[in-house]
Chains A and B, each alone.
Chain A
Amino acid sequence: MNWKAFLAMLARDAHVARRNFVALLFQTFLQPLMFVFIFGRVMVGSGYMPPSYKSLLLPGIMAICMVGTGIWAVAMPLIAEFQFTREIEDRLLAPMEISWLAIEKVVAGSLQALAAGLMVIPAAWLLLRPGVDLHVPHPLLFALVAILVALFSATGGLALGCSMQQTHIGLMFSLIVAPMIFFGCTYYPWSALEKFPVLQKAVLVNPLVYASEGLRATMIPQFRHLPLLAVVVGLVFFNALLLVTGLRNFHGKSVT
């Protein structure tokens, strides 16, 4: 393993992210924070939503921000670089096994997703307060779940980025990302689906359910949530599956 090349590629991705920081900031936070404002502030303030919704919403918004950031940070450059600009070729020719380049993309995407997740907490808290009841009784468990969610976002980005054509980016969002968010227990807890038992079971194939519920379990444990063990097993399983799929497709794209 050539750590120098690996770190140089991480430095390159950090450099590019820093250069696009303002655009990234708007892209990542604007829509979720508007959602927080309307649903958490306006609708709770006007009595359409119960006050407890503020606390339930925040971990879901954090999950959306993290997953959106990770997928965007990994999938979009890969789609463009493999197809249109081919700019990844220079890094494929660096003296390092090509799987490590895919892993570097996952690490860079996970770090961006973690940063987005940690930044959205104070921003959303400021918009929602007062009445947000956050507890993090086990910071290490919270860190573990946050890292698993970040990895899920980046491995998902890898698998999607190596499976899509450039012309299908719009389809990727409307067919995969949007349903994943709406059926991902982000705007409501999994227990809210009890009156829809089929749907409640069906959404368990959606990895975002484990991400949202995992963050709820570690940030607002006073509310009902999926057991933490199920969350960790679910996230580890999907991360492994997406990583293996992503690496296989990455190889398929890199070598003809």
Chain B
Amino acid sequence: MVAGIRTRDLRKVYNSAPPVAAGTGGFSFGAPKAKGKQPRPEIVALDGISLDILPGEIFCLLGPNGAGKSTTVGVLTTRVRPTGGQAFIGEYDVWQNQVAVKRLIGVVAQRPNLDFSLTAREILTFHGAYFGLSSQERAKSAEALLERFKLTDRADQMVRGFSGGMMQRLSIARAMMHDPQVLFLDEPSAGLDPQTRLLLWEIVREYNQSGKTILLTTHNMEEADALCKRLAIIDHGRVIAHGTPQELKSAVPGGYLLRLRFGLHSPDFLIRLQALAGVREVRGNDSNGADVYADRGGSLVAEVAALASGAGVELCDVHISEPSLENLFLHHTGRSLRE
């Protein structure tokens, strides 16, 4: 059975800081209590996420840190209780059928969570045992995965001394150990060198070609562009755009983005910029900056410079972006993904 992923109006509100950022100390028999009569701060992590990820698809959640990507993965992998809405893996409601869902999924968390008391090989074989694989199957699969992820020479060493990249490779190998129908990769290439990233992409594509569904989160546009058939861009717990990378890129007015910085400009000057041939949209972002969406890039610079010179406005900086997902994110949020 090939399983897809579906969420309907998924909401998650934290009453305290989310666990990754948790740092409060002290004893806590029972639920933590609010001090005094002050209401607890509510942090809205997911604000109505609806997704339809088809069986056998590589789907990306693209967004900046804190957008809600990991919380979405947490809900879909039984680790975060949704405040509202529903999530399904295949035909199973994630919250109602946790054990059935856990059989279908493999998860690579954002932070390494390997079993430090075991060697690399034991991590894989015990994981296989949790999923009921026979000892022969475990040994065979572990050997193949160690080989595939180039970890054979360190297979029988404790993982405590592994580099970040090796731990990440082993985490991914472990998630694949029981051959799950749906693989979740939360920021899988964070901290990987370019060579290992390419190996990872190759392995992800290969795994997908065997008919598996993959949900990948990233804030790296190139990764989303290179790997995903479809993607959703999320910010502040909401889906702000979704579609194929091509569709999304063509949704940016004109496609090209010129980020301009002037000494000082006026609204009048922006209207004149808007009138240049090929310019689709002009947004002033403060008193000396403007984002110009246009259907051409470099050839527009000379005209902008001439216009500025004629108007007595000093042009300080020009940055040209070709059609990209970054431009789309900027167009929707006014912020860069890298910020």
Which chain A residues have a beta carbon within 8 Å of chain B's beta carbons?
2, 4-5, 8-9, 11-12, 15-16, 19, 85-98, 159, 163-165, 167-168, 245, 248-249, 252, 254-256
Contact B131 A94 (CB under 8 A): yes
Residues on the B chain within 8 Å of A88, using CB: 113
> A255 with B130: in contact, given A16-B117, A163-B28 (CB under 8 Å)?
no
In Å, the complex CA distance between A167 and B29 comes to 16
| Chain B contacts with A in 28-54, Cβ cutoff 8 A | 28-31
Task: Decide if the interface of chain A is mainly helix, strand, loop or mixed.
Answer: helix
Task: Decide if the interface of chain B is mainly helix, strand, loop or mixed.
Answer: loop
The one of A2, A85, A87 in contact with B99, judged by C-beta atoms closer than 8 angstroms, is: A2
> A94 with B113: in contact, given A164-B27, A254-B79 (CB under 8 Å)?
no
Contact A95 B14 (CB under 8 A): no
**8 A-B pairs (CB sep. < 8 Å):** A16-B117, A89-B109, A90-B174, A93-B105, A94-B131, A96-B102, A165-B24, A255-B78
| Chain B contacts with A in 169-187, Cβ cutoff 8 A | 174
Contact B130 A256 (CB under 8 A): no
Q: A4-B132, A11-B126 are in contact. List 14 more A-B contacts (CB 8 A).
A: A5-B132, A8-B126, A15-B122, A16-B117, A88-B113, A90-B123, A90-B127, A93-B77, A93-B79, A93-B102, A164-B27, A167-B25, A168-B25, A255-B81
> Nearest 4 pairs between A and B by C-beta?
A8-B129, A94-B130, A86-B113, A89-B113
Cβ of B114 under 8 Å from chain A = yes
Chain B nearest CB from A103 CB (Å) reads 15
Contact A4 B129 (CB under 8 A): yes
CB-nearest residue of chain A to B159: A87
Cβ of B284 under 8 Å from chain A = no
**Interface hub of A95, A164, A248 (most chain B Cβ within 10 A):** A95
**Interface hub of B98, B102, B116 (most chain A Cβ within 10 A):** B102
Residues on the B chain within 8 Å of A254, using CB: 79
Cβ of B165 under 8 Å from chain A = no
Contact B129 A95 (CB under 8 A): no
Residues on the A chain within 8 Å of B306, using CB: none
In Å, the complex CA distance between A48 and B2 comes to 76
Cβ of B161 under 8 Å from chain A = no
The one of B25, B80, B103, B123 in contact with A95, judged by C-beta atoms closer than 8 angstroms, is: B103
Contact A256 B105 (CB under 8 A): no
Q: Please report the total number of B residues contacting A with Cβ < 8 Å.
A: 42
> A256 with B131: in contact, given A19-B117, A93-B107, A164-B27 (CB under 8 Å)?
no
Chain B nearest CB from A71 CB (Å) reads 15
In Å, the complex CA distance between A223 and B175 comes to 58
Residues on the A chain within 8 Å of B28, using CB: 163, 249
CB-nearest residue of chain B to A84: B116
Contact B102 A256 (CB under 8 A): no
Interface string of B95-114 (1 = CB under 8 A from A): 00011101101010101111
Contact A256 B98 (CB under 8 A): no
In Å, the complex CA distance between A86 and B171 comes to 13
CB-nearest residue of chain B to A6: B130
CB-nearest residue of chain B to A171: B27
CB-nearest residue of chain A to B112: A86
CB-nearest residue of chain B to A254: B79
In Å, the complex CA distance between A166 and B111 comes to 18
Residues on the B chain within 8 Å of A87, using CB: 113-117
Cβ of B263 under 8 Å from chain A = no
Residues on the A chain within 8 Å of B112, using CB: 86
Chain A nearest CB from B224 CB (Å) reads 25
In Å, the complex CA distance between A180 and B32 comes to 25
Chain A nearest CB from B114 CB (Å) reads 6
Residues on the A chain within 8 Å of B99, using CB: 2, 95-97
Residues on the A chain within 8 Å of B26, using CB: 165, 168
Cβ of B191 under 8 Å from chain A = no
Cβ of B211 under 8 Å from chain A = no
CB-nearest residue of chain B to A245: B29
Residues on the A chain within 8 Å of B31, using CB: 252
Chain B nearest CB from A241 CB (Å) reads 11
Residues on the B chain within 8 Å of A94, using CB: 102, 130-131
Residues on the A chain within 8 Å of B111, using CB: 86
Cβ of B267 under 8 Å from chain A = no
**Interface hub of A87, A91, A245 (most chain B Cβ within 10 A):** A87
Cβ of B194 under 8 Å from chain A = no
Residues on the A chain within 8 Å of B81, using CB: 255-256
Contact B79 A255 (CB under 8 A): yes
The one of A95, A97, A163, A167 in contact with B130, judged by C-beta atoms closer than 8 angstroms, is: A95
The one of B25, B77, B98, B129 in contact with A11, judged by C-beta atoms closer than 8 angstroms, is: B129
Contact A256 B18 (CB under 8 A): yes
Residues on the B chain within 8 Å of A91, using CB: 130
Residues on the B chain within 8 Å of A89, using CB: 79, 107, 109, 113
In Å, the complex CA distance between A9 and B24 comes to 30
> A92 with B25: in contact, given A87-B114, A256-B19 (CB under 8 Å)?
no
In Å, the complex CA distance between A86 and B26 comes to 19
The one of A8, A92, A165, A167 in contact with B79, judged by C-beta atoms closer than 8 angstroms, is: A92
In Å, the complex CA distance between A19 and B81 comes to 36
In Å, the complex CA distance between A164 and B28 comes to 7
Cβ of B118 under 8 Å from chain A = yes
Cβ of B74 under 8 Å from chain A = yes
Residues on the B chain within 8 Å of A96, using CB: 99, 102, 130
Interface string of B67-80 (1 = CB under 8 A from A): 00000001001111
